[in-house]
């Protein structure tokens, strides 16, 4: 039958798809920002500020577009509004009546912007929501909101989508954490909507070839499609190849710079607050990071590990911090969670730290901080400007500058004094391995009682969690390497000895696998794997912590610095810590004591003497207590296909990771809602056209409904023949459509007539048929 090509329908759907893609992209940017900036109790509600800035930017630009102002005048008003928002967020306390700058505004703004640039230059996500940083983000979202409104009003998809997409990609680069399936699906949905919008949208009489009668020719061009696909493929390969030299071996670029960057002062060095299983080249300059002086009764400087923060969550590649909530320090504050503090022998260490080139917001301390002191001097960090986390880590939210200094007290564990108690078994005697070593004269500590009244924290189980996809072969290897151990301390001792002192592993900074992630099972087990059992501190710490959790021992990774060198300056002993001291180690929970440090890195030239050095615990594993025969565990060389155990012993993982089926339900539901949504939009537009006398809009809507319901119109039938064959309710509409198309006469079909036909369709088909028709995308994607 004859059909009239309605030029506006596809454009309308295309515009709506583009607008939806733009909204989704804005949502992705705001959501990704939530992974870059901290939020929680005691922190500003910055996410509401950014959402408001986005909405205000879009509304202001829409209002400006409704006026007769010139482009220059409208842009000036838009920028003026952005400036007010910027000042309101950055320095609201200096504004008169909340909008008028005063003499205090510029100096305060300069300080806030310096803080913001320091965070951008040296911060590692998630960073603290300083007012200056939030002001910068607010202006960015204001601009994106305005661009979205402009693109929506002018039907310019590029303006709506491209700027937002660029910002999202940059934020994704800043975000070092794995994104997961939901982010991938959301990004794919956004890209798919944008491409569909581009395909459906077209300007009138533009880009359409026409035949001799002046009618548009079909869009089909397989040759052009193949050429375009080839060009896109070549461009993608070329871009990826050239970009590999620009992207670090982390697979992305860190949120920091080691050059002079933005802000004042010389360049510095910031460290990523992650420990992972990737092997990559290390570039160290032997640069001085900080100096420190110690108070009386402190341990020897060559024994002090400088602690930054603990990483307690492992996602299969990265060890990272799971809880970023912090609190403001005030006099008398109890820093950290007392349930997790070391309960064995310790000493209070007074220290004053002078920053040289260490950037970032984490303050190094000798042990776990307990008190921050207010002291006099230049560039002293005020205690009230410092925040602390649950693990007693200290944070200076705006980031450190050269010559900043501070004084704290900390609690430093004296593990050497507790060796005998740690080696004591439940029966009050040395556990079997240590007892055999004592009999052989290589272990001299005496058994002693454990600390009384120490209970395990209620959240200790979170330190045994591992991803569901952790290779089963790792458990077999952990069991093999600790065979014969009867206590957690024996198991931890044997793991540390294997990594550090057995000779099976090699420390080296000259390893790299390009952009590929290290496969832990292969690295530990397959001699043919690249860099087999060769790496540096991150690989050893990350690996030992994973094996510890597989054995059910609560484990976490700590990053910081090995003991620095002692120099004398003006007659005062000063510890100098350089970037070559950057290090990662493991802490494992021992009942009755708390977190005990183990250092698995085989790097004896710069590390304190290992408490596993001097004797091999595997030589004292009793096979038969009656005979005293001992046997060291062999190296099983397990195959990934053979986990090395029978009946699959359970991994101690009481809270498995989130299941994917709820996410798939949400995705399917969201995709299912898209088709009816756009059909409803199309129907409303056609009703508007019908109200203006365009009867073809009503006819096209009914024909599309019938087509989706499985009753397409036969090409050999006229509209009236089709109507008479399917229902008398269609006859008035068919007459009006025929009169308008073939006779050029005005039709007398109103909205009420159209609603009657919809009622006829409602009664003609049952609920299941109507639902199936509503979900059928045929009428949305067919060619006109």
List pLDDT tens digits, range 682-696: 888 888 888 777 888
Cα 252 to the chain's mean position, in Å? Answer: 12
The proportion of the chain whose per-residue pLDDT surpasses 90, expressed as a percent, equals 30
Per DSSP, the residues of 582-613 read EEEEEEEEETTTEEEEE-----TTTSPPPTTT
Distance CA 145, CA 154 (A): 14
Q: N- to C-terminal Cα distance for the chain?
A: 14
Q: Select from 16, 37, 26 the least CA-distant residue to 144.
A: 26
When mean pLDDT is compared over 187-201, 290-304, 517-531, the highest value belongs to: 290-304
Strand partners, 582: 561
Measured CA to CA, the distance from residue 31 to residue 172 in angstroms comes to 11
Query: Counting runs of H as helices and runs of E as strands, what totals does the chain give?
Result: 21, 22
Task: With 0.85 as the threshold, say if the pTM is over it.
Answer: no
How are beta strands 582-590 and 594-598 bridged, if at all? antiparallel
**Residue 189 and residue 183 in contact, taking contact as beta carbons nearer than 8 Å:** no
Q: What is the reported pLDDT for 232?
A: 46
List the structure tokens of 678. Answer: 């756009």
CA–CA separation, 387 and 399 (whole Å): 12
Hey, where are the domains in the chain? 7-243, 275-323+345-630, 661-781
Phi first, then psi: give them for residue 521, nearest 5 degrees: -60, -45
Q: Could you give the CA distance from residue 12 to residue 446 in angstroms, rounded to a whole number?
A: 83
- DSSP letter (8 states) at residue 442: S
Predicted local distance difference test score (pLDDT) of residue 784: 43
Q: Torsion angle, CA of 236/169/194/67, rounded to 10 degrees?
A: -130
Per-residue pLDDT tens for 577-615?
998 888 999 999 999 899 999 999 987 666 787 777 778
pLDDT score of 399 more than 70? yes
Task: Report the alpha-carbon distance of residue 773 to residue 784 in Å, rounded.
Answer: 19
pLDDT of res. 157: 81
Q: Which has the closest alpha carbon to 612: 507, 477, 515, 499?
A: 499
Kindly tell me if the per-residue pLDDT of 126 is higher than 60: yes
Helices 695-708, 751-764: crossing angle, 10 deg rounding:
10
The secondary structure of 363-390 as a DSSP string is EPEESEEEEEE---STTBPPGGG-EE-T
C-alpha angle with apex 385: 382 to 386, nearest 5 degrees? Answer: 100
303: nearest Cα among 443, 448, 449, 417: 417
In the block, tokens 């997961």 appear at 180
Range in 330-334, 474-478, 512-516 the model is least confident about: 512-516
Residue 580 CA to chain centroid, in angstroms? 28
More confident residue, 207 or 11: 11
pLDDT digits (tens, 9 = 90+) for 718-777: 777 777 777 677 787 777 777 777 766 666 677 777 787 788 777 788 777 888 888 887
How many CB atoms within 10 Å of residue 615?
15
263: left (phi over 0), alpha (psi -120 to 50) or beta: left
Alpha-carbon distance of 84 to 280, in angstroms, equals 45
Structure letter (DSSP) for residue 269: B
CA distances from residue 755 to 687, 706, 732, 765 in whole angstroms, order as listed = 10, 15, 13, 16
Residue-by-residue DSSP string for 497-550? HHHHTSSS-EE-S----TTPPP-HHHHHH-TTSTTTTEE-HHHHHHHHHHHHHH
Residue range 64-90: average pLDDT?
Answer: 87
The neighbour count for residue 755, using CB atoms within 10 Å, is 11
């Amino acid at each position: 039958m004859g059909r009239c090509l309605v030029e506006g329908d596809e454009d309308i759907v295309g515009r709506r798809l583009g607008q939806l893609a733009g909204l989704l992209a804005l949502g992705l940017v705001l959501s990704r920002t939530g992974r870059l900036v901290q939020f929680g109790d005691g922190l500003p509600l910055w996410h509401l500020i950014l959402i408001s800035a986005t909405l205000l930017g879009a509304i202001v630009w829409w209002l400006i577009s409704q006026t007769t102002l010139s482009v220059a005048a409208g842009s000036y008003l838009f920028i003026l509004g952005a400036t007010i928002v910027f000042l309101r967020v950055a320095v609201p306390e200096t504004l008169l009546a909340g909008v008028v700058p005063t003499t205090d505004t510029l100096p305060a703004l300069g300080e806030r912007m310096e803080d913001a640039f320091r965070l951008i230059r040296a911060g590692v996500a998630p960073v603290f929501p300083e007012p200056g940083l939030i002001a910068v983000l607010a202006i960015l979202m204001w601009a994106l909101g305005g661009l979205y409104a402009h693109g929506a009003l002018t039907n310019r998809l590029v303006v709506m989508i491209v700027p937002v997409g660029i910002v999202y990609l940059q934020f994704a680069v800043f975000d070092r954490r794995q994104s997961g399936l939901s982010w991938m699906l959301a990004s794919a949905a956004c890209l798919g909507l944008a491409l569909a919008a581009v395909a459906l949208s077209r300007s009138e009489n533009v880009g359409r070839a026409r035949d001799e009668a002046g009618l548009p020719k079909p869009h089909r061009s397989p040759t052009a499609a193949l050429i375009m696909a080839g060009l896109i493929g070549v461009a993608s390969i070329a871009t990826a190849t050239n970009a590999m030299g620009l992207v670090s071996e982390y697979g992305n670029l860190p949120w920091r710079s080691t050059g002079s960057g933005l802000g004042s002062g010389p360049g510095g060095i910031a460290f990523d607050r992650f420990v992972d299983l990737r092997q990559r080249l290390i570039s160290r300059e032997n640069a001085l990071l900080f100096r420190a002086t110690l108070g009386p009764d402190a341990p020897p400087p060559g024994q002090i590990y400088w602690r930054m923060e603990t990483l307690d969550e492992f996602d299969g590649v990265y060890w990272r911090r799971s809880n970023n909530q912090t609190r403001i320090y005030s006099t008398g504050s109890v820093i950290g969670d007392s349930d997790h503090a070391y309960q064995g022998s310790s000493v209070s260490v007074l220290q004053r730290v002078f920053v040289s080139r260490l950037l970032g917001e984490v303050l190094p301390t000798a042990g776990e901080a307990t008190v921050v002191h207010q002291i006099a001097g230049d560039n002293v960090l005020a205690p009230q400007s410092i925040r602390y986390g649950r693990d007693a880590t200290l944070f200076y939210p705006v980031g450190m500058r050269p010559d900043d200094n501070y004084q704290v007290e900390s609690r430093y564990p004296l593990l050497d004094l507790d060796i005998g108690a740690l080696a004591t078994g439940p029966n009050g005697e040395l556990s079997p391995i240590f007892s055999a070593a004592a009999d052989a004269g290589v272990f001299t500590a005496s058994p002693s009682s454990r600390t009384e009244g120490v209970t395990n924290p209620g959240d200790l189980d979170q330190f045994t969690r591992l991803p569901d996809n952790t290779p089963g072969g790792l458990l077999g290897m952990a069991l093999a390497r600790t065979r014969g151990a009867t206590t957690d301390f024996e198991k931890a001792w044997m793991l540390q000895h294997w990594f550090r002192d057995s000779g099976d592993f090699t420390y080296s900074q000259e390893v790299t696998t390009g952009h590929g992630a290290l496969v832990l099972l292969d690295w530990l087990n397959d001699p043919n794997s690249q860099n087999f059992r060769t790496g540096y501190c991150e690989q050893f710490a990350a690996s030992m912590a994973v094996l510890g959790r597989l054995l059910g021992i609560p484990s976490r990774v700590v990053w910081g610095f090995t003991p620095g060198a002692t120099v004398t300056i003006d007659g005062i002993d000063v510890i100098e810590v350089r970037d070559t001291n950057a290090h990662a180690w493991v802490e494992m929970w021992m009942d009755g004591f708390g977190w005990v440090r183990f250092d698995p890195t085989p790097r004896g030239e710069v590390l304190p003497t290992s408490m596993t050095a001097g004797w091999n615990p595997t030589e004292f594993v009793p096979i038969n207590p009656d005979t005293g025969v001992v046997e060291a565990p062999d190296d099983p060389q397990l195959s990934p296909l053979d986990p090395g155990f029978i009946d699959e012993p359970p991994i101690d993982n009481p809270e498995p990771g989130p299941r994917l089926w709820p996410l798939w339900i949400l995705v399917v539901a969201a995709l299912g809602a898209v088709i009816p949504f756009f059909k409803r939009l199309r129907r409303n537009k056609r009703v508007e056209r019908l109200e203006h006398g365009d009867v073809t809009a009503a006819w096209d809507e009914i024909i599309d409904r019938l087509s989706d319901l499985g009753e397409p119109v036969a090409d050999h039938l006229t509209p009236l023949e089709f109507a008479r064959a399917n229902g008398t309710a269609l006859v008035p509409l068919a007459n009006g459509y025929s009169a308008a198309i073939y006779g050029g006469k005005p039709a007398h079909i109103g909205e009420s007539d159209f609603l009657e036909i919809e009622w006829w369709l409602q009664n003609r088909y049952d609920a299941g048929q109507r639902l199936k028709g509503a979900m059928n995308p045929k009428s949305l994607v067919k060619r006109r």
